[in-house]
Amino acid sequence: MINDELVKASREVKVGDKLSYRKDSVTYSLEVLAIPKSRVGAKLVPDLIRDITSEEELEKQSFIQMMHKLSRPRGTGRPTKKERRDLEDFIDGDD
């Protein structure tokens, strides 16, 4: 969104435009401070924009990150192929 309006990806931005986008249920907001005349490196981009994301959204982001860490113990995801075969052998009664 640019200035609270839905726009296509090809829309050109201008100095002073406020951009907002959603990522992982958090809405981030940026303000365009300047437009370079040519392409610039990623390290120079923070000089051209200002992060105006609300504190509420940033707290939501930290809460989501904490919930991902607490949601399940690390390493207890899907079983590996070997673990699955061992489990099938155990259930079938094969030794």
Q: What is the pLDDT of residues 15-59, one digit of tens each?
A: 999 999 999 889 999 999 999 999 999 999 999 999 999 999 999
pLDDT (0 to 100) of residue 73: 66
Token duo for residue 58: 């940033």
Cα 71 to Cα 8, 25, 38, 51, 77: the distances in Å are 36, 17, 44, 29, 11
pLDDT value of position 91: 85
Residue 32: Cβ within 10 Å count: 16
pTM: 0.65
Evaluate whether 48 touches 41 at the Cβ level (below 8 Å). Answer: no
The mean of the pLDDT values for the chain is 88
Q: Which amino acid would we find at residue 93?
A: G
Return the higher-pLDDT residue of 73 and 3: 3
